[in-house]
Structure 1
């Protein structure tokens, strides 16, 4: 018998809130197959120059595990842990619909913005809590914002991002953790924490 969507959503919430290694828990509970948006990640390739670790699912599960490890290391409360793990798991959920092969390379322009739309629709279907959906969608939509500038962002850009995240019930700190997990979950192509310049400017603004 197929599982009800609400039951699948409840199982996902349990994993993101409590599992020490979300990737294992998701596989053990059959959630990757039960959630089409996750299954599609496993069928979506990435440019090996930027993502030698493998397809989008491999990358996303790794990012979720890193977020869970961060939450454990810093003794974060269950609500914040759930937000960070969920956002890290679904940060590239827009890639299946935006990935293209061009001139021998793989690109996914617009995947962040599309990902927010995909996650909101998924959240409604799985009956996920609205505050969680809003916060995760905001992080998903903006997780590539750091690519819009070279070096330190302007105070105006940082304030704009802070206000957008705060309006959705999250923060620049939460965004920064997801961005860092995204950057680290790339095997030999792992890159320095791209959120640091934004945090640095935010600290000066305070």
Structure 2
């Protein structure tokens, strides 16, 4: 028979259910995630706490601090705009997971901290973690797509081309999400940087998308 310590360890499915409930309902997800021990229960989140970031771009601290801050901003958006629970869960978890690939990609180079390829790696991590935690497949696919593409604004200078916006929008819609959901996560990413908070990088992409719909 398992000893008491083993029985006290929640299953992956229970941990996933707890995380999903937090994403769907908690006004400040970061508090509940920490208080319920989910950082320690989910190795991918625990790894964020030991992953540094370049202080010029992220003076708020390590990747976990940044990611929890982004999740809180996504939850606040959902409350203000009356977002339904399923969409709210997607926004919160995509914001929480958007840099989940950084532990595997962070390097020090020429005195700077870089994490090239973290968006693509993050999508892989989300798909694997989502299966283990028994998160809804549709949510996992959508969150992975948002994560994989959240660095798109960094790939262009100025306004993106109509072709780039069409391609991004089609990719997100094929994954069951939208450019609007992506834009919210990108906005939360930029805002969750303390004194280095950035202007909303999604604005040019949304603006071009609106011209395509006229």
Task: Tell me which interval the TM-score lies in, with the shorter structure as reference length.
Answer: over 0.9
For 1:81 and 1:140, the matched residues in 2 are separated by 16
Q: What is the aligned counterpart of 1:48 among 29, 32, 55?
A: 55
Does residue 39 (structure 1) correspond to residue 46 (structure 2)? The answer is yes
For 2:88 and 2:190, the matched residues in 1 are separated by 19
Indicate the residue corresponding to 2:178 in structure 1: 171
Does residue 143 (structure 1) correspond to residue 150 (structure 2)? The answer is yes
- Give the CA deviation at 1:28: 1.1
Indicate the residue corresponding to 2:130 in structure 1: 123
Q: What is the aligned counterpart of 2:161 among 150, 154, 159?
A: 154
Structure 1 segment 12-91 matched on structure 2, within 5 A: 12-91=19-98
| Structure 1: 5+ residue stretches without partners | none
Residue 75 of structure 1 aligns to a residue whose secondary structure is coil
Q: TM-score, normalised by structure 2?
A: 0.96
For 1:102 and 1:149, the matched residues in 2 are separated by 23
Indicate the residue corresponding to 1:8 in structure 2: 15
Residue 108 of structure 2 aligns to a residue whose secondary structure is strand
- Give the CA deviation at 1:142: 0.3
Q: What is the aligned counterpart of 1:188 among 190, 195, 212?
A: 195
For 1:181 and 1:27, the matched residues in 2 are separated by 20
Q: TM-score, normalised by structure 1?
A: 0.99
Deviations 1:4-42 (A, max 9, x none): 110001000000000000000101111111000000000
| Structure 2: 5+ residue stretches without partners | 1-7
For 1:187 and 1:28, the matched residues in 2 are separated by 23
Indicate the residue corresponding to 1:112 in structure 2: 119
Would you identify which runs of 4 or more consecutive aligned residues in structure 1 move more than 6 Å? none
For 1:97 and 1:79, the matched residues in 2 are separated by 29
- Give the CA deviation at 1:3: 1.0
